[in-house]
């Protein structure tokens, strides 16, 4: 370690030992002088008359003003409790979480044309209970599906807190399903794990540690920190990276409508553990993550579908790079636009290296909020599709999804907990691919716009993706054009069934005799046509 590096390391240690308020002030002073010690500490706000929104919240607020009845930004979670559930205790735990996290008591208003947030000091939630125990199994399942979709597809009014809804469905004496719906402006996918972890801890009677900050403290910090040199460096990279970017146009079943309706459906498949393990081995061999390798396969699929060489997709990133925000509920998730040049018919291994290089640099510039990126780049806007990209892609581990919420330390005695997949019925993109690593394999869930795609098309696409993954594992040195994509059923249909043109005809007669027979059957039909002449 050089003397300069050693001095910086000592300085970091000294600053880390300071109280939070002094540490944050000192770090900001260093930043103003052009010095940077990673990211500054986020401290509690100080007597602000108006509470600002984060950049991501600002974008959702403005979108909500344009279309207040949309449910595209509803987040629906559901969990199944099996065992003796204390419903009164469950409601009490939910209210404790609401009091603990200010964001769950927040509403949003316009102040002089700009959004501002107001935190309600006291707010309690009543847990509605719907008893389905008397229904038959079939009718009960139909009712559960209907209620789950209704909850997910009911809009929020941002001026009325809380921006979350809960409902408990009583399935049997020992089985209950909790439906939880939040507006994206107050939560993200990571928040699900926070809620579940705190819910199980409180239900077990544990005491939760005080939160170091609240979400609004992050919003204040972000507005102060992301400016000047820091903002310029982030913007300059993304402007260069996304220069002359055009949105990928997938072949659709239906023409794109002038205005998105956000209507969606989901299709899913479980890809075998054998393929998942093979892909993880390939990732280890090539020094990539499972995300990077799966992204390469997905971009090959898009390339084969569109014949485009310049492929950009969106991918969510947790954006919780500060220790203070890890235990918070809130809208932290950011979106990265990952653009890859797939030209030249490279091998899979060559494409993997391109993906790795692009992702590594993009992750270093992940602090620019997507809302701020759109504002700075100012792409051509359209009500028919999302700016910059139309396809979203993410890979998660199921344990990561739960954020270790259901682990031995936090398990509830005599009560098992199962996370359920919820379909909100609304999508912001042409399609979103969720890959979830599970013990039994890789769960692939595609949420797609029903305005653009039919169910059979998405099911066929999932089949092609599985074949592609297997082909990549078998020979990653193949070039993109050589990789298999057709399922066995499709190969059978294309190569055999559609080429089977054999038909029975009388071998003892010549063609002229067969022609004469046809003339007798249909004497008035046209036999030959050339330009304006008909015979």
- Transcribe 361-398 into DSSP letters: HHHHTTTS-HHHHHHHH-PPP-TTS-SS-SEEEEEEEH
**Residue 398's pLDDT is what?**
53
pLDDT for 514 beyond 90: no
Q: What is the pLDDT of residues 186-206, one digit of tens each?
A: 999 889 889 999 999 999 999
The rounded distance, in Å, linking the Cα atoms of 401 and 189 is 8
The rounded distance, in Å, linking the Cα atoms of 199 and 403 is 13
The rounded distance, in Å, linking the Cα atoms of 495 and 499 is 6
Q: How many helices (H) and strands (E) does the chain have?
A: 16, 15
Token digits of residue 410: 């936090």
**Residue 279's pLDDT is what?**
92
Q: Are 292 and 352 in contact (CB under 8 A)?
A: yes
Q: Who's near 15: CB < 8 A, 6+ residues apart? A: 23, 26, 27, 37
Q: Extract long-range pairs of 453-459: CB within 8 Å, 24+ residues apart.
A: 453/252, 453/253, 453/254, 454/253, 454/254, 455/265, 455/267, 457/253, 458/267, 458/431, 459/267, 459/269
Does residue 49 or residue 472 have the better pLDDT? Answer: 472
The rounded distance, in Å, linking the Cα atoms of 340 and 353 is 11
Mean pLDDT, the chain, rounded, equals 86
pLDDT for 400 beyond 80: no
The rounded distance, in Å, linking the Cα atoms of 308 and 249 is 9
**Residue 402's pLDDT is what?**
44
Does residue 231 or residue 309 have the better pLDDT? Answer: 309
Q: What is the pLDDT of residues 310-331, one digit of tens each?
A: 999 999 988 888 888 999 999 9
Band of residue 5 on the pLDDT scale cut at 50, 70, 90: very low
Distances in whole angstroms, Cα of residue 511 to Cα of each of 503, 514, 525: 15, 5, 18
Q: Are 187 and 331 in contact (CB under 8 A)?
A: yes
In this structure, the dihedral spanned by the alpha carbons of residues 61, 256, 182 and 438, taken in order and rounded to 10 degrees, is: -130
Q: What is the pLDDT of residues 17-45, one digit of tens each?
A: 555 445 555 555 554 444 444 556 788 87
**Residue 79: exposure state from Cβ atoms within 10 A (0-12, 13-18, ≥19):** buried
**15-19, 220-224, 446-450, 510-514, range with greatest mean pLDDT:** 446-450
Token digits of residue 31: 């930043």
Token digits of residue 479: 């070039």
Band of residue 376 on the pLDDT scale cut at 50, 70, 90: confident
Arithmetic mean of pLDDT, 337-364:
95
The rounded distance, in Å, linking the Cα atoms of 528 and 535 is 5
Pick the range with the lowest mean pLDDT from 87-96, 116-125, 491-500, 516-525: 491-500
The rounded distance, in Å, linking the Cα atoms of 300 and 354 is 12
> pTM of the entire structure?
0.78
Pairing of strands 74-83, 415-420: antiparallel
């Amino acid at each position: 370690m050089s003397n300069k590096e050693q001095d910086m390391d000592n300085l970091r240690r000294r600053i880390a030992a300071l109280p939070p308020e002094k540490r944050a002030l000192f770090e900001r002073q260093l930043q103003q002088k052009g010095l940077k010690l990673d990211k500054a500490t986020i401290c509690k706000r100080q007597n602000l008359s108006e509470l600002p929104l984060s950049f991501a919240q600002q974008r959702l607020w403005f979108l909500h003003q344009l279309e207040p009845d949309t449910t595209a930004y509803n987040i629906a979670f559901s969990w199944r409790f099996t065992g003796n559930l204390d419903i009164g205790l469950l409601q009490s735990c939910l209210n404790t979480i609401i009091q603990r996290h200010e964001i769950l008591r927040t509403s949003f208003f316009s102040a002089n044309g700009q959004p501002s947030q107001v935190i309600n000091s006291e707010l309690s939630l009543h847990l509605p209970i719907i008893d389905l125990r008397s229904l038959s199994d079939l009718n009960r399942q139909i009712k559960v599906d209907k209620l789950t979709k209704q909850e997910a597809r009911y809009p929020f009014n941002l001026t009325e807190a809380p921006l979350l809804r809960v409902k408990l469905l009583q399935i049997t004496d020992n089985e209950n399903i909790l439906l939880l719906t939040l507006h994206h402006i107050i939560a993200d996918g990571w928040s699900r794990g926070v809620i579940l972890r705190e819910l199980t801890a409180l239900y077990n009677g544990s005491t939760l540690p005080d939160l170091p900050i609240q979400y609004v403290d992050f919003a204040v910090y972000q507005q102060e920190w992301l400016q000047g040199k820091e903002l310029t460096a982030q913007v300059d990279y993304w402007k260069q990276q996304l220069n002359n970017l055009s949105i990928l146009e997938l072949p659709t079943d239906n023409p794109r409508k002038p205005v998105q309706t956000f209507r969606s459906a989901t299709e899913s498949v479980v890809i075998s553990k054998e393929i998942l393990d093979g892909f993880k081995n390939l990732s280890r061999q090539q020094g990539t993550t499972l995300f990077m390798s799966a992204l390469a396969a997905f971009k090959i699929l898009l390339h084969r579908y569109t014949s485009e060489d310049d492929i950009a997709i969106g991918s969510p990133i947790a954006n919780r790079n500060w220790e203070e925000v890890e235990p918070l509920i809130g809208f932290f998730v950011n979106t990265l636009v990952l653009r890859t040049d797939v030209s030249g018919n490279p091998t899979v291994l060559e494409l993997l290296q391109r993906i790795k290089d692009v992702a590594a640099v993009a992750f270093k510039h992940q602090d620019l909020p997507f809302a701020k990126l759109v504002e700075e780049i100012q792409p051509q806007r359209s009500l028919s599709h999302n700016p910059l990209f139309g396809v979203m892609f993410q890979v998660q581990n199921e344990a990561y999804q739960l954020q270790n919420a259901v682990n031995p330390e936090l398990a509830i005695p005599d009560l098992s907990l199962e996370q359920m997949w919820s379909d909100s019925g609304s999508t912001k993109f042409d399609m979103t691919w969720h890959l979830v690593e599970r013990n039994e394999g890789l769960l692939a869930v595609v949420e797609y716009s029903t305005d653009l795609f039919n169910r059979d098309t998405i099911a066929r696409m999932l089949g092609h993706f599985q074949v592609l993954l297997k082909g990549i594992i078998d020979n990653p040195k193949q070039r993109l054009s050589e990789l298999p994509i057709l399922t066995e059923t499709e190969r059978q249909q294309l190569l055999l069934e559609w080429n089977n043109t054999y038909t029975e005809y009388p071998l003892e007669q010549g063609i002229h005799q067969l022609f004469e027979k046809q003339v007798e059957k249909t004497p008035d039909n046209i036999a030959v046509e050339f330009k304006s002449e008909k015979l």
